[in-house]
Amino acid sequence: MPDLPFSRLGGLNMQSELLRESQSRSPREDSLESSQERLQASAVKDRLPDIVIAPARFARPHEDDIDALAHLANNANIATMVSRMPHPYTVADAADFVRRTKTGTIGKCVYAITKADNGAFLGCCGIEPHPDGKTAELGYWLGEPHWNKGYATEAAQALTDMAFRTHDIDQIDARCRVMNVASRRVIQKCGFQFQGSGMVDSLALGGMMSVEWYRLDRKTWMSLRSWGGLR
Ligand SMILES: CC(C)(COP(=O)(O)OP(=O)(O)OC[C@H]1O[C@@H](n2cnc3c(N)ncnc32)[C@H](O)[C@@H]1OP(=O)(O)O)[C@@H](O)C(=O)NCCC(=O)NCCS
């Protein structure tokens, strides 16, 4: 089994890690982070396995993705559905995101969703540990031209399988805005069950947004897999 990065590192909110950390950091924090990044880069490199489930391929974000990432992420219909995506979203934001995913300082298990046949960048997905060591949080977004083609469901199912198969976690959580019909549908198609609702911060909205919280526990996942209800 591959030793994936997220098993070693503390948890942050998945959506925030998929997108961008706090905008304001001190020079000392930057310096500390640079040295940490150098140390972590070699550890992260080659540890994140590519996953190919045609027509999508999930691989570590790459510099080649920056332009498409900036173009697709600069969309209020996406930014207002996730917690910490800045809006507007610039090429510099995209470059910073890719750099941090490469060094392991952002998104310990973040994938670019690309088209398997031509490598076109479509969106991002990732899974992130909670500090309890037993829970991971799933997140994803797709560029708007690529909605409703099944990519998010493929991504969520692939990451869910990978996480349960390679890590000693008991459950995976997912959250979506109450008004986010498409994301709720993705979560439901992956077998997650409603747990409750609450409020989370939204960078793009500049305030709190109401979200629904869903969970898939290991036993349910195993049952669904053996039953064949999912893929
Ligand atoms: C949510 C999101 C990731 C879904 O991605 P996607 O690749 O389009 O998802 P899929 O194609 O796998 O599945 C979408 C499902 O929602 C359904 N759906 C989409 N819009 C819908 C609507 N307005 N009403 C009812 N169902 C809707 C689709 O029909 C599909 O369900 P089906 O397969 O049963 O027909 C994408 O819309 C997105 O990136 N949105 C902005 C960011 C975001 O919300 N991220 C998630 C944060 S929780």
Tens-place pLDDT, residues 89-117: 999 999 999 999 987 665 568 999 999 99
> When comparing pLDDT for 55 and 170, which is higher?
170
Distances (CA, A) of 27 to 22, 24, 122, 224: 14, 10, 34, 49
Which residue's alpha carbon is at the smallest distance from atom 19 of ligand 1? 182
Closest CA to 126 of 81, 100, 163, 95: 163
- Tell me: pLDDT of 230 over 60: no
Tokens of 62: 């790459």
Which residue's alpha carbon is at the smallest distance from atom 21 of ligand 1? 182
Residue 48 near residue 60, CB atoms below 8 Å: yes
User: In the prediction, which pLDDT does 47 show?
Assistant: 58
User: In the prediction, which pLDDT does 51 show?
Assistant: 78
Tell me the pLDDT band of 40, cut-offs 50, 70 and 90.
low
Owner of token pair 């979203």: 89
Give residue 139 CA to ligand 1 midpoint distance, Å. Answer: 13
Which residue's alpha carbon is at the smallest distance from atom 20 of ligand 1? 182
Percent of the chain whose pLDDT exceeds 90: 65
Three-state secondary-structure class, residue 14: helix
d(CA 14, CA 114): 20
Report the CATH superfamily, name and number, of domain 5-227. Gcn5-related N-acetyltransferase (GNAT) (3.40.630.30)
Query: What's the pTM?
Result: 0.83
* β-sheet bridge partners, residue 110: 126
Which residue's alpha carbon is at the smallest distance from atom 3 of ligand 1? 141
User: In the prediction, which pLDDT does 225 show?
Assistant: 86
- Tell me: pLDDT of 79 over 50: yes
Within 6 Å (CB) of ligand 1, which residues are found?
Answer: 78, 81-82, 140-142, 147-153, 176, 180-183, 185-186
Give residue 141 CA to ligand 1 midpoint distance, Å. Answer: 9
Residue 105 near residue 39, CB atoms below 8 Å: no
Give residue 119 CA to ligand 1 midpoint distance, Å. Answer: 22
Owner of token pair 């992260």: 44
Closest CA to 221 of 151, 153, 157: 157
Tell me what the mean pLDDT of segment 155-175 comes to. 95
Owner of token pair 């959250």: 175
Which residue's alpha carbon is at the smallest distance from atom 18 of ligand 1? 182
User: In the prediction, which pLDDT does 206 show?
Assistant: 96
Which residue's alpha carbon is at the smallest distance from atom 45 of ligand 1? 141
Give residue 154 CA to ligand 1 midpoint distance, Å. Answer: 12
Ligand 1 atom nearest to CA at 147: 8
* β-sheet bridge partners, residue 139: 126
- Tell me: pLDDT of 187 over 90: yes
Distances (CA, A) of 225 to 132, 190, 229: 25, 11, 7
